[in-house]
């Protein structure tokens, strides 16, 4: 229902009001007028993010039954449950923009929606639980801390809680790798082998380089994104370098060096062909991920039907009581 103020404002005036709110670093809320492209961009990014959290449960869920101790199993279950919670906060945030949960779910299970490239790799080794926590959650934190200040209120607020939980995830991953890299030579080798596989894909999580990123400029002007893909990738690499040392592991990027003059890290070549193949659905685990999600959705149909029936009965009871 439009407010009285909205009824008397022209489209130009509404746009000017929106621009002024963005300029002043104020939040846009669901009740506010917003340009259609802003709304669509948010739906795109938030729903992709939500899908990533939900699909992102699969690589680690693979190790819940085989975690090496009860403590590790409890931590891993808690982490995977946290990711489900993140997905739900984010779906709720997207719903405030006028898209339904069903529409988003259908797009995912029909293979029409994107989710993070990183979750299309398999997890053959226990050390992968360490590398995912350290590198994948570490990259997620780098990318997501600035999103706590995203101009759209429900997204920014969801990100605050998510980031707190991601910090715990990152610490537990680092700790798994630390124990392995300070264990037997075989354990150290296992940690190194896993980090070798996850390092480059974790750099790809930040998206294409700035000159190949069609959405960045507008998203930054709208203060959805606060930093570019390359800026965040730089920040992440800078964070990893001393941590590689603490772990006693080698960084797989043999060309990595710090350029004192520009204050930037010079990275080796990222394999963008691999990244693009994953985005096209041709990554190592794309098919499994979508199939598993579709099966889980179908198997959960009875829960959704029961919830609808329960809500109907509650309404009926209230009608009789009135």
Q: Which residues bind ligand FAQ (CB under 6 A)?
A: 44-45, 48-49, 52-53, 56, 83, 114, 116-117, 132, 136-137, 140, 143-144, 204-208, 213-216, 219, 225, 229, 279
Closest approach, Cβ 245 to ligand FAQ, in A, equals 24
Residue among 161, 163, 148 nearest 224 (CA): 148
Closest approach, Cβ 146 to ligand FAQ, in A, equals 9
Closer to ligand FAQ by Cβ: residue 119 or 188: 119
Closest approach, Cβ 98 to ligand FAQ, in A, equals 18
Closer to ligand FAQ by Cβ: residue 144 or 192: 144
Q: What is the 3-state secondary structure (H, E, C) of 33-60?
A: CCCHHHHHHHHHHHHHHHHHHHHCHHHH
Q: How far is CA 253 from CA 77, 131, 244, 305, in A?
A: 32, 16, 12, 51
| Helix residue spans in the chain (DSSP H) | 4-8, 11-23, 36-55, 57-61, 70-95, 101-109, 127-131, 137-144, 153-181, 185-204, 216-221, 229-247, 272-279, 286-299, 301-321
Closest approach, Cβ 300 to ligand FAQ, in A, equals 19
257 forms beta bridges with: 266
Q: How far is CA 234 from CA 126, 150, 249, 313, in A?
A: 28, 20, 20, 55
Closer to ligand FAQ by Cβ: residue 96 or 213: 213
Closer to ligand FAQ by Cβ: residue 131 or 180: 131
Which residues lie below 8 Å from residue 317, measured CB to CB, with a gap of 6+? none
Closest approach, Cβ 209 to ligand FAQ, in A, equals 9
Closer to ligand FAQ by Cβ: residue 155 or 188: 155
Closer to ligand FAQ by Cβ: residue 33 or 168: 168
Structure tokens at 10: 């022209």
Closest approach, Cβ 310 to ligand FAQ, in A, equals 30
Closest approach, Cβ 165 to ligand FAQ, in A, equals 10
Structure tokens at 212: 């190949």
Closest approach, Cβ 216 to ligand FAQ, in A, equals 5
Q: How many CB atoms lie within 10 A of CB 244?
A: 17
Closer to ligand FAQ by Cβ: residue 17 or 122: 122
Closer to ligand FAQ by Cβ: residue 51 or 188: 51
Alpha carbons 291 and 305: distance in angstroms, whole number: 22
Closest approach, Cβ 234 to ligand FAQ, in A, equals 14
Place of tokens 């009860």: 70
Alpha carbons 286 and 278: distance in angstroms, whole number: 7
Determine the residue with CB nearest ligand FAQ: 56
- Provide the greatest CA pair distance for the chain: 76
Closer to ligand FAQ by Cβ: residue 188 or 194: 194
């Amino acid at each position: 229902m439009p407010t009285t103020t909205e009824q008397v404002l022209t489209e130009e005036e509404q746009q000017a009001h929106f621009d002024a709110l963005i300029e002043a670093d104020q939040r846009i809320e669901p009740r506010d007028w917003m340009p259609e492209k802003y709304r669509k961009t948010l739906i795109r990014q938030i729903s992709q993010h939500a899908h990533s959290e939900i699909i992102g449960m699969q690589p680690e869920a693979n190790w819940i039954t085989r975690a090496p101790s009860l403590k590790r199993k409890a931590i891993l279950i808690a982490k995977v449950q946290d990711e489900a919670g993140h997905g739900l906060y984010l779906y709720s945030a997207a719903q405030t923009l006028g898209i339904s949960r069903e529409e988003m779910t259908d797009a995912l299970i029909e293979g029409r929606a994107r989710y993070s490239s990183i979750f299309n790799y398999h997890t053959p080794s226990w050390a992968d639980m360490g590398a995912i926590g350290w590198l994948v959650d570490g990259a997620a934190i780098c990318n997501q801390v600035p999103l706590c200040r995203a101009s759209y209120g429900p997204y920014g607020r969801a990100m605050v809680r998510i980031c707190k939980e991601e910090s715990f995830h990152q610490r537990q991953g680092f700790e798994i790798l630390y124990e392995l890299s300070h264990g037997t030579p075989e354990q150290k080798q296992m940690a190194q082998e896993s980090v070798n596989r996850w390092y480059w894909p974790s750099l790809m999580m930040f998206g294409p380089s700035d000159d190949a990123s069609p959405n960045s400029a507008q998203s930054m002007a709208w203060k959805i994104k606060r930093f570019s893909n390359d800026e965040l990738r730089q920040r992440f690499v800078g964070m990893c370098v001393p941590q590689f040392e603490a772990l006693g592991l080698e960084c797989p990027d043999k060309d990595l060096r710090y350029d004192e003059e520009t204050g930037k890290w010079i990275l080796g070549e990222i394999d963008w062909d691999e990244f693009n193949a994953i985005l096209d659905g041709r990554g190592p685990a794309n098919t499994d991920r979508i199939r598993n999600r579709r099966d889980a959705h179908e198997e959960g149909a009875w829960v959704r039907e029961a919830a609808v029936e329960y809500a109907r009965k509650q309404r009926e009871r209230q009608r009789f009581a009135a």
